[in-house]
């Protein structure tokens, strides 16, 4: 058998059409596709338009989509019953970089991402708080809890931390608590 005969035999073997796969033409003789679907006629019933509420143009999520898990402790009343406010806070990350890393480019495993950082820094802004003695701070491996006479924060951390190794500093001028915690290596 020639090479052409082999290819033709292979084409008939592989290219055989399944009768269920063939498209039957529609009533107009054209193949059936989404454009051939009939359009529903207007039955005269008015459909009310959905009016969106006032939304912030820069908002990513609608307020109703956000889940508030700050008050998930049944032992604490939260914002509604006790009048405690949730303070503003911000996360930052720190890397341990030495001169060999910075100038010689020897840190092949370091990048600007948070996975290459050794410490996680959380700045909590507490206006009206005079000293660190007014605060009750508890750091666990996956969450941080802060309570005072006017503030309450129950926050899940983005990375697991070493709860025993860390420090908290109070900045009297800025009325800010700076909590630094060592990030634990992820176990895969």
54-110 pLDDT per residue, tens? 677 787 777 666 655 544 443 444 454 467 899 999 999 888 777 776 666 666 666
| Average of per-residue pLDDT across 25-39 | 66
CA terminus-to-terminus distance, the chain: 57
Tell me: pLDDT of 15 over 70: yes
Query: Where on the phi/psi map is residue 29: left (φ > 0), alpha (ψ -120 to 50), or beta?
Result: left
Please, which residues have CB within 8 angstroms of residue 94's CB and are 6 or more apart in sequence? 117, 118, 119, 120, 121, 180
* Lowest model confidence (mean pLDDT) among 39-53, 140-154, 171-185: 39-53
**pLDDT for the residue 58:** 80
Position 107 scores a pLDDT of 62
Q: Which domains does the chain have, with CATH numbers?
A: 86-183 (2.60.40.790)
Contacts of 95 (CB under 8 A, 6+ apart): 110, 116, 117, 118
CA atoms within 13 A on the CB side of 52: 7
Q: Give 107-153 pLDDT, tens digit per residue.
A: 666 666 666 778 889 999 999 999 889 999 999 999 999 999 999 99
The predicted structure's pLDDT at residue 8: 80
Looking at the predicted structure, is the pLDDT value of residue 170 above 90? yes
pLDDT of residue 108: 63
* Helix, strand, coil fractions of the chain, as percent rounded to 5: 20, 25, 55
Ranges 36-40, 160-164, 175-179, most confident: 175-179
Question: Residue 120 and residue 151: Cα distance in Å, rounded?
Answer: 22
Residue 29 to residue 12: CA distance in whole angstroms: 28
């Amino acid at each position: 058998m020639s090479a052409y005969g082999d290819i033709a035999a292979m084409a008939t073997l592989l290219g055989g059409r399944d009768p269920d796969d063939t498209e039957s033409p529609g009533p107009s003789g054209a193949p059936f596709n989404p454009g051939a679907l009939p359009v529903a006629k207007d039955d005269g019933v008015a459909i009310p338009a959905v009016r969106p509420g006032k939304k912030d143009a820069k908002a990513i999520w609608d307020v109703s989509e956000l889940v508030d898990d700050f008050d998930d402790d049944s032992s604490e009343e939260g914002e509604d019953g006790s009048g405690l406010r949730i303070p503003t806070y911000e996360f930052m990350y720190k890397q341990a970089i030495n001169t060999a890393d910075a100038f010689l480019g020897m840190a092949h495993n370091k990048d600007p991402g948070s996975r290459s950082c050794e410490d996680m820094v959380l700045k909590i802004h507490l206006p009206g708080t005079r000293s660190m003695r007014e605060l009750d701070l508890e750091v666990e491996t996956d969450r941080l809890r802060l309570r005072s006479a006017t503030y309450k924060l129950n926050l899940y951390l983005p990375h697991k931390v070493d709860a025993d190794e860390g420090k908290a500093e109070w900045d009297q001028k800025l009325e800010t608590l700076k909590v630094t915690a060592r990030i634990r290596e992820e176990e895969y």
